[in-house]
């Protein structure tokens, strides 16, 4: 009996010394948030350079691939499907050295990223 009382007291004393957890409510992330940032950055870069050189095109492609990867990792691809398709088109246009076509596709993607579809999580 003495051992049980001792261990129960130790656990109670340990719990009494722990601070209460702080609950912070985090806002739900917006679908495609990182893709939106990548698109905005790519649009700004394309606006500042009339005809980007190969290293700039590769850097923009890497930026857009990163945004697409984050979108896929968070499971948002299906919620912003049209914007994802436009970003893929922009990557193809950059690869074909068509910055104007890439700019048009990125503007269409940016338009699609402004209105994400509601998720099932939000409906609960």
Q: Is 27 helix (H, G, I), strand (E, B) or coil?
A: coil
Integer Cα distance of 76 and 41 in angstroms: 20
Task: Please state, as a whole number, how many other Cβ atoms lie within 10 Å of the Cβ of residue 49.
Answer: 12
Please check whether residue 109 is in contact with residue 83, taking contact to mean a CB–CB distance below 8 angstroms: yes
pLDDT tens for the chain, residues 1 to 124 = 555 555 555 556 556 666 666 778 777 778 899 999 999 999 999 999 878 999 999 999 999 999 999 999 999 999 999 999 999 999 999 999 999 999 999 999 999 998 544 554 444 4
Query: For residue 28, what are its two tokens?
Result: 């739900």
Integer Cα distance of 30 and 48 in angstroms: 28
- Which residues, other chains included, contact 69 with Cβ-Cβ below 8 Å and sequence gap of 6+? none
């Amino acid at each position: 009996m003495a051992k049980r009382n001792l261990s129960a007291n130790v656990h109670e004393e340990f719990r009494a010394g722990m601070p209460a957890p702080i609950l912070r409510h985090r806002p739900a992330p917006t679908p495609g948030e990182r893709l939106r940032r990548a698109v905005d950055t790519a649009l700004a870069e394309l606006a500042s350079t009339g005809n980007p050189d190969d290293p700039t095109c590769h850097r923009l492609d890497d930026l857009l691939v990163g945004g697409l990867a984050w979108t896929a990792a968070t499971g948002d691809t299906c919620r912003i499907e049209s914007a994802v398709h436009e970003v893929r088109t922009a990557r193809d246009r950059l690869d074909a050295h068509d910055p104007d076509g890439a700019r048009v596709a990125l503007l269409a993607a940016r338009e699609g990223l402004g209105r994400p579809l509601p998720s099932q999580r939000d409906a609960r």
